[in-house]
Amino acid sequence: MGFEGKVALVTGAAGAIGKAIAADLCRQGAKVFITDLRQEGVETAVAEITAAGGTCRGLAADVVDEAQVIAVVAAAKKAFGARLDILVNVAGIVAQGKVEDITVEDWDRVFAVNCRGTFLFIKHVVPLMKAGGYGKIINFSSKSGKTGSALMAHYSGAKAAIMGMTQALAYELAGDGITVNCLCPGITENTGVWDNVSAGYIKNLAMPRDEVVKKFTAKVPLGRLASIADVVAVTRFLASEGADYMTGQAINVTGGREMH
């Protein structure tokens, strides 16, 4: 399942999951370009990955700003040449709130970062993939996009939209040798998302932290939260030749909580 000679771009790569995916692709032999919102976070991630022997470069960008997205793709081309084989769209934000308390600004920001950011990177990477006749696009949805989550109407809506976008692009790009799939992780421990979600339940429902953990694990047949390694492993597979006959799929990484 090695990626020698491949070039990958990973967004949201200063966060726990994005950084782990970028590091894993590097370990498998890929050259990886990363981006995240803040340059300090990007530089730290690049340093950690290169210290472990990987080939990694990066540039900060706000994924909702098309000019900044274009700059990232241009920087990746300058670093690794005019090819890009793998795009992993991890960048996103999570938000919670009762529907009557969600502002229009809250709604628009959640959709912009999660949906527009994913769209913009695909838009500007696809020409490189078409030129090479090959590409793997891996988007990040969520279990909340599959079944919805209370207090997360804006987040659930945005993640459901990513699944629809994934399916539409899978049809559109199949003839160009490009597959498009997405992951739908459940709550993943040791991530900022889990910290935000648990804090939201503690605040909005006055639940003690240990009760929040029990609430989520009680619904998972395998009896635990997802680990970062679980998510990385499925991403690696979707980026590999082993997944060449898979496109338009929304893969659950939820311990059996979602089975559709």
Q: Are 188 and 231 in contact (CB under 8 A)?
A: yes
List the structure tokens of 35: 């981006």
Q: How far is CA 240 from CA 36, 147, 189, 234, 246, in A?
A: 24, 28, 25, 10, 11
Tally of residues, the chain? 260
Structure-token match 């499925």, residue found = 234
- What are the residues whose beta carbons fall under 8 Å from the beta carbon of 163, sequence distance 6 or more? 141, 145, 146, 182, 184, 250
134, 155, 171, 245: the active-site residue = 155
Edge-to-edge strands of the sheet including 178-185?
Answer: 55-58, 31-35, 7-11, 86-89, 135-140, 178-185, 250-253
Task: Give per-residue burial for 175-188: e unless 16+ CB within 10 Å, then b.
Answer: eeebbbbbbbbbbb
Q: Reply yes or no on whether 155 is catalytic.
A: yes
List the structure tokens of 174: 């199949």
Catalytic sites, residue numbers: 155
